[in-house]
C-alpha cells in the first residue's frame, strides 16, 4: 500500500474575503472561471457531476460545462447514460469545479432538467465532426466486450454520414442545472480555508455566509 498520510501541501495563493463577494454568485463564479482559463490549467470548464441512483448510492464523473446563465449550468450527455437515468429518477445533482492548481473549488447544488431540442441541435452542430460521430458510436455506460467494437462503430458511422450533415441523435442532449446553492472554497494556510455559501430563497439570493473549514 502507498503511504498517503503525509502527502500534503500548504495553500498560500490567496484568500477570499467578504469584500470579494458579489451580490449574485454567478458574477464571482465568472470571475474565477476567467482566472482559471487565463491560468491555462487543464479543462477549466471541467466539472464533477454527482447523481444518486435508486438505492441512494452516489456516483460522480467529470463532464464539461458548455454554457451557463444567471440561473443554470448546462452540460451534454447521452440520454441513455447512467447519469441520465439517475437524473430521470432523481433530478437533484451537485456540480463541483475542482480548480486544484488555483487552490479553489466551486460547488453548485440544484436540480437538472432537459433543455429544448432546438438548443441541443444548435450545440451539437457546433461540435467537431469527430465528436458528432462519436456521439452516434457510443452507447454510453453500456457494457462492451472490447474497444475494437467501439472503434468499428465509429468507422461505420463515419462512412454512413460522410456525404452530409450529421443529424442530432435522439438519444443525446443537454441538461440545465438550476442551482439554488453555491459554495466557494479558497485554500488558506494551516487549513484555515475560506468558505462562503450562497442560498436562493424566494427567488432572492441571500447574503453569503462564511462556513468553518
Residues with a catalytic annotation lie at 191
Query: Does 10 appear as a known binding residue?
Result: yes
C-alpha dist (Å) from residue 180 to 8, 26, 107, 126, 159: 33, 11, 11, 29, 45
Q: Is 211 annotated as a binding residue?
A: no
- The span from the CA of 102 to the CA of 75, in Å, is 23
- State yes or no: 131 annotated in a binding site: yes
| Burial class for 76, CB neighbours closer than 10 Å (0-12, 13-18, 19+) | buried
> Does 61 show up as a binding residue in the annotation?
yes
Residue 104 is labelled as binding a ligand: no
Residue 191 labeled ligand binder: yes
Is there a binding annotation on residue 9? yes
Is 77 within 8 Å of 175 (Cβ atoms)? yes
| Phi/psi-derived region of residue 50, left when phi > 0, alpha when psi is between -120 and 50, beta in every other case | beta
180 close to 199: Cβ distance less than 8 angstroms: yes
Q: 29: closest CA among 77, 127, 95, 93?
A: 95
**70 marked among binding-site residues:** no
- 4 is an annotated ligand-binding site residue: no
Cα gap 69→122, rounded to integer Å: 17
Would you list which residues are annotated within the binding site for FMN? 61-66, 76-77, 82-83, 105, 140-141, 185, 195
Would you list which residues are annotated within the binding site for substrate? 8-11, 66, 123, 127, 131, 191-193
Would you list which residues are annotated within the binding site? 8-11, 61-66, 76-77, 82-83, 105, 123, 127, 131, 140-141, 185, 191-193, 195
Amino acid at each position: 500500500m502507498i503511504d498517503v498520510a503525509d502527502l500534503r501541501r500548504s495553500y498560500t495563493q490567496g484568500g477570499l474575503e467578504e469584500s470579494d463577494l458579489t451580490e449574485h454568485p454567478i458574477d464571482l463564479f465568472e470571475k474565477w472561471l476567467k482566472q482559471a482559463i487565463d491560468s491555462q490549467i487543464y479543462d477549466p470548464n471541467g466539472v464533477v457531476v454527482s447523481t444518486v441512483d435508486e438505492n441512494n448510492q452516489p456516483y460522480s464523473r467529470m463532464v464539461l460545462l458548455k454554457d451557463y446563465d444567471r440561473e443554470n449550468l448546462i452540460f451534454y450527455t447521452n440520454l441513455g447514460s447512467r447519469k441520465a437515468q439517475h437524473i430521470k429518477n432523481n433530478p437533484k445533482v451537485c456540480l463541483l469545479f475542482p480548480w486544484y492548481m488555483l487552490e479553489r473549488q466551486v460547488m453548485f447544488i440544484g436540480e437538472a432538467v432537459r433543455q429544448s431540442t432546438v438548443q441541443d441541435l444548435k450545440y451539437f452542430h457546433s461540435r467537431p465532426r469527430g465528436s458528432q460521430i462519436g456521439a452516434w458510436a457510443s452507447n454510453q455506460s453500456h457494457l462492451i466486450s472490447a474497444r475494437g467494437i467501439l472503434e468499428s462503430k465509429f468507422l461505420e458511422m463515419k462512412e454512413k454520414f460522410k456525404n452530409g450533415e450529421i443529424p442530432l441523435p435522439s438519444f443525446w442532449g443537454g441538461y440545465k442545472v438550476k442551482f439554488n446553492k453555491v459554495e466557494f472554497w479558497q485554500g488558506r494556510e494551516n487549513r484555515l480555508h475560506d468558505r462562503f455559501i450562497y442560498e436562493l430563497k424566494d427567488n432572492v439570493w441571500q447574503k453569503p455566509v462564511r462556513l468553518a473549514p
